[in-house]
Amino acid sequence: MAETLPKILVVDDIAANLVAMRTLLTKLHAEVLVATTGNDALALALEHELAMILLDINMPGMDGFEVAEWLRGEDQTREVPIIFVTAAYKDHSHRLQGYHVGAIDYIEKPVDGRILRSKVSVLLELYRRKQELKRANSALSERSILLQATMDNIRHGLGMFDAELCLQAWNERFFDYPGYPMALAKQGTPLSEFLRIHEQRKEVVRKVVDRLADQVMPWRFDWPLANGRTMDVKTNPMPGGGVVIALTDVTDQRRDEVAIREHASRLAAVNATAHDAIVTIDRFGKVREWNPAAERMFGYTAKEMRGRSLRRIMPGRFLPEHEQGVQRYVQRRESEVVGKTVERIGLRQDGREFPIELSLAAWGEPGNPFFTAIMRDVTERKSQEELLVQMNQRLADSLAELQKHHNELVLLSRMNERLQGCATMEEAVRVLEESLQELFKGLDGVVLLEEGEGYGLAGRWGGDTDGAFPPSTCMVAEGWQLAASHREGCRLHWEESGGCCCLPLWEQGKVFGFLHLHERAEGADGRFDRHSGLMSTVREAIELSLANLRMRERLKDQAVRDVLTGLFNRRYLDETLPRELSRAARAQQPLSVAMVDVDHFKRFNDTFGHDAGDAVLREVARLLRDRLRKSDIACRYGGEEMTVVLPGLEILAARERMERIRQELQALQVAHAGVALGTITVSIGIAEFPRHGNQMEELLRKADAALYLAKQSGRNRVLLAE
């Protein structure tokens, strides 16, 4: 039996996030289920046995907290571990609420693949161990039940006789079936005492006793009793001598066998007179029964078909599906047609195909089944159904246009809800790509957003939009402000390239982006005009949602960034470093902290002015950002001092990296107001977790002490904490 993979449910309303999570979990030997809404997640949780749930918090409709609370209230899902995967990880109230509703952990977005796989691997191992224990307990329970049921419910009367044919062991049915007196139920009773009760002659008794005394092979026979009952007697020799006798009352069975023979005769009569074709085949597709109605329907006689393959009456294109279905039923007892009435295509002897209605039943042994089909020619009925379909089509066409407008309103509402739930501009653009492709079917498009001094491509959907935007004759190509001056955007239609529309996106009187829709020439059939009524409403919804996101991102960036250097500020370090230390402890990985101080910084201020000092700090910060990894964290600690957090690096590797940065800073040529500021050097002290401490304050103190020693030793060097 194939191994059943543990199942992980990933819940996120952003399709791109689901794809990323599925990719990160690919090599964990687990089946990944995905859901985009809380309701879908609940349905999957009840349908499948889950190893764990990775759950987003911010979702339209039912959010992650409501989903988690509901799961904890159901017996089936109460014990399933829940990990929130969310960008709201830094919010202390969110974390408390998540743990309150039953989550066991949080993973911050954007997701670090190593952290995700580490946490999921631990939970998968726990799940597998739990499943192994459950299977072991189940097997033990089943064996105990089977043994008890065998002892209590065996339907045979059993008697064990020794080599002298004297009774040694028995069960109650050994006396109940033939009506033996319980006075014989004692060890040592000779077999002859039981035989005499049946009023057998002495020579018969002696013959049976002699046969059993010399028995070396199993023996079975029917024994008619004086009371009219019939006993099935089975005897088997025992190793070392003696015999086991099993008695079974088969009176009803023998009567049923007679009834079965009579039933077979009646069934043969039904087959002969039925109006529907009745055909029986074996597991190999060979015909066993073929009634007269089948002869009339297909044109073959019973003699021509009996023992022949069913291929004769089935079009060749359906044969592979038929043979696979038979094998699937034989192997797994699974079938899409057994026990149901389905429509199929038959093949007459003259090669004509015709529709049939087929009802299929399976019978016989599980490993060697037979299939009986009742088939009816439905050619006339199908003709009538086709006429009815044509009449219904006209009604369906009249409803299609109404349904189209309804669907557009539903899609627009859903897009608004999803946009309101987006936490980042990237999420919002992904929502737009999915929603606008569905809203404006037949149109390609791009979303352009403000980027530096111009506009950059943020998202696209449809065909090859690179060649479609911007059209050479579109006013957008002449300058963005030309299009921005038209609130409703610009539209151009030309015979060679279909049509396009550029809609500016406004925020506080300024254009921050454009939505461009384009109809490809090879598919042009008026789609652009059909969708034009939606464009104004869609543009307004996009403007509001993206403008709100831009505002939130600006406020968030201002809260955690140092204005002068662009590095993270001290507050961000205080919030982030304890979390990184906790993560390193769980993963049993090193983490290094470097304190960086600009040497003789006061000299720059005193000699060239504070603006020059600010320029030095900005250049140092820029080089740090360019040379550090995405996972590293650079913060302005205070004044000319900066802190660098290096997750996953032990202290020697951290020294090597910071030494390269020190050398690049020393070679840096910085000028302010046309005046060269001279050589910039820095002193750096490094401490490592957990070697130099487990807490943030202790690590920073050790790194700062190493920095102080570097300055005392002559500056312009990297020293390690002791």
Q: Is the pLDDT assigned to residue 2 strictly greater than 90? A: no
Q: Is the pLDDT assigned to residue 276 strictly greater than 80? A: yes
Residues 122 and 162 in one domain: no
pLDDT at 476: 45
HSE value, Cβ hemisphere, 13 Å, CA-based, for 190: 11
Which one has a higher pLDDT value, 717 or 604?
717
pLDDT band at 89 (very low <50, low <70, confident <90, very high): low
Q: Is the pLDDT assigned to residue 494 strictly greater than 50? A: no
Close Cβ partners of 439 (under 8 Å, ≥ 6 residues apart): 408, 411, 412, 415, 531, 534, 538
Question: What mean pLDDT do residues 392-398 have?
Answer: 79
pLDDT at 541: 76
Torsions phi, psi for 276 (to 5 deg)? -95, 150
Percent of the chain residues past pLDDT 90, beyond the cut:
12
Close Cβ partners of 120 (under 8 Å, ≥ 6 residues apart): 8, 25, 28, 30, 52, 54, 83
Residues 608 and 667 in one domain: yes
pLDDT at 515: 78
pLDDT at 475: 47
CATH number at residue 655: 3.30.70.270
pLDDT at 531: 60
CATH number at residue 466: 3.30.450.40
Which one has a higher pLDDT value, 223 or 689?
689
What distance in Å separates the CA atoms of residue 689 and residue 64, rounded to the nearest whole number?
Answer: 34
- Does 708 reside within a domain? yes
Sign of the torsion angle spanned by Cα atoms 17, 23, 27, 32: positive
Which of 358, 377, 396 corresponds to the end of one domain?
377
Q: Is the pLDDT assigned to residue 530 strictly greater than 70? A: no
- Candidates 579, 578, 513, 506; CA nearest to 544 is 506
Torsions phi, psi for 589 (to 5 deg)? -120, 155
Q: Any idea which of 183-192, 250-259, 442-451, 521-530 has the lowest mean pLDDT? A: 521-530
Provide the edge-to-edge strand list for the sheet that holds 341-347. 287-290, 277-281, 368-377, 353-365, 341-347
- Does 514 reside within a domain? yes
pLDDT at 586: 93
Residues 78 and 172 in one domain: no
pLDDT at 645: 94
Question: 552 is in which domain, residue-wise?
Answer: 405-559
- Does 382 reside within a domain? no
Q: Any idea which of 48-57, 386-395, 432-441, 660-669 has the lowest mean pLDDT? A: 432-441
Q: Any idea which of 109-123, 421-435, 561-575, 614-628 has the lowest mean pLDDT? A: 421-435
- Does 243 reside within a domain? yes
Stated pTM of the model: 0.35
| 385, containing H or E segment | helix 379-420
Residues 56 and 129 in one domain: yes
Torsions phi, psi for 353 (to 5 deg)? -95, 150
Cis-peptide, bond into residue 690, ω within 30° of zero: yes
Q: Is the pLDDT assigned to residue 124 strictly greater than 70? A: yes
CATH number at residue 189: 3.30.450.20
Residues 542 and 570 in one domain: no
Work out the number of other CB atoms within 10 angstroms of the CB of residue 579. 14
pLDDT at 648: 93
Work out the number of other CB atoms within 10 angstroms of the CB of residue 198. 17
Q: Any idea which of 141-150, 175-184, 530-539, 618-627 has the lowest mean pLDDT? A: 141-150
Question: What mean pLDDT do residues 506-523 have?
Answer: 71
Q: Is the pLDDT assigned to residue 635 strictly greater than 90? A: yes
Q: Any idea which of 143-152, 325-334, 517-526 has the lowest mean pLDDT? A: 143-152
pLDDT at 508: 74
pLDDT band at 643 (very low <50, low <70, confident <90, very high): very high
Q: Is the pLDDT assigned to residue 465 strictly greater than 80? A: no
pLDDT at 480: 41
pLDDT tens digits along 284-321: 888 888 889 888 888 898 888 888 888 888 888 888 88
Q: Is the pLDDT assigned to residue 660 strictly greater than 70? A: yes
Give the max Cα distance, the chain. 136
pLDDT band at 587 (very low <50, low <70, confident <90, very high): very high
HSE value, Cβ hemisphere, 13 Å, CA-based, for 434: 15
pLDDT at 526: 47
Residues 574 and 533 in one domain: no
pLDDT at 386: 83
**How many domains does the structure of the chain reveal?**
5
- Candidates 610, 612, 682, 588; CA nearest to 644 is 682
pLDDT at 58: 84
CATH number at residue 64: 3.40.50.2300
- Does 125 reside within a domain? yes
Quick check: 172 and 147 in contact, CB under 8 A?
no
Q: What is the mean pLDDT of the chain?
A: 80
Q: Is the pLDDT assigned to residue 484 strictly greater than 50? A: no
Residues 631 and 707 in one domain: yes
Question: What mean pLDDT do residues 515-539 have?
Answer: 64
Which of 118, 146, 174 corresponds to the end of one domain?
146
Most confident by average pLDDT, 64-73, 238-247, 605-614: 64-73
User: Which residue blocks in 454-569 are alpha helix, DSSP H?
Assistant: 480-484, 527-560
Quick check: 569 and 560 in contact, CB under 8 A?
yes
- Does 400 reside within a domain? no
DSSP state string for 74-142: STTTTTS-EEEEEGGGG-HHHHHHHHHTT--EEEESSPPHHHHHHHHHHHHHHHHHHHHHHHHHHHHHH
What distance in Å separates the CA atoms of residue 632 and residue 646, rounded to the nearest whole number?
Answer: 5
Residues 553 and 627 in one domain: no
pLDDT at 28: 85
Which of 501, 525, 559 corresponds to the end of one domain?
559
Where does residue 372 fall: left (phi above 0), alpha (psi -120 to 50 degrees), or beta otherwise? beta
Residues 643 and 663 in one domain: yes
pLDDT band at 582 (very low <50, low <70, confident <90, very high): very high
What distance in Å separates the CA atoms of residue 231 and residue 176, rounded to the nearest whole number?
Answer: 12
- Does 264 reside within a domain? no
pLDDT at 591: 95
Residue type, 389: V
pLDDT tens digits along 200-221: 555 555 666 666 766 667 878 7
Percent of the chain residues past pLDDT 70, beyond the cut:
86
pLDDT tens digits along 327-367: 888 888 888 788 888 888 888 989 898 898 888 888 888 77
Residues 305 and 448 in one domain: no
What distance in Å separates the CA atoms of residue 32 and residue 7, rounded to the nearest whole number?
Answer: 6
pLDDT at 3: 67
Residues 315 and 202 in one domain: no
Q: Is the pLDDT assigned to residue 46 strictly greater than 50? A: yes
- Candidates 539, 552, 541; CA nearest to 424 is 552
Q: Is the pLDDT assigned to residue 105 strictly greater than 90? A: no
Q: Any idea which of 91-95, 386-390, 644-648 has the lowest mean pLDDT? A: 91-95
Close Cβ partners of 48 (under 8 Å, ≥ 6 residues apart): 7, 9, 33
Work out the number of other CB atoms within 10 angstroms of the CB of residue 399. 9
Question: What mean pLDDT do residues 372-378 have?
Answer: 87
pLDDT at 147: 40
Q: Is the pLDDT assigned to residue 251 strictly greater than 60? A: yes
Residues 412 and 536 in one domain: yes
Question: What mean pLDDT do residues 606-629 have?
Answer: 86
Burial class (CB in 10 A: 0-12, 13-18, 19+), 148: exposed
- Does 215 reside within a domain? yes
Cis-peptide, bond into residue 470, ω within 30° of zero: yes
pLDDT at 5: 87
pLDDT at 199: 58
Q: Is the pLDDT assigned to residue 12 strictly greater than 50? A: yes
Query: What is residue 155's three-state secondary structure?
Result: coil
For tokens 């009435």, what's the residue? Answer: 341
HSE value, Cβ hemisphere, 13 Å, CA-based, for 620: 30
Helix, strand, coil % over all residues of the chain, rounded to 5: 50, 25, 25
Question: What mean pLDDT do residues 486-505 have?
Answer: 55
- Candidates 2, 70, 13, 58; CA nearest to 36 is 13
Helical pair 379-420 and 425-439, crossing angle rounded to 10 deg: 150
Question: What mean pLDDT do residues 600-629 have?
Answer: 85
Provide the edge-to-edge strand list for the sheet that holds 52-55. 31-35, 7-11, 52-55, 82-86, 105-108
Most confident by average pLDDT, 178-182, 227-231, 270-274, 281-285: 281-285
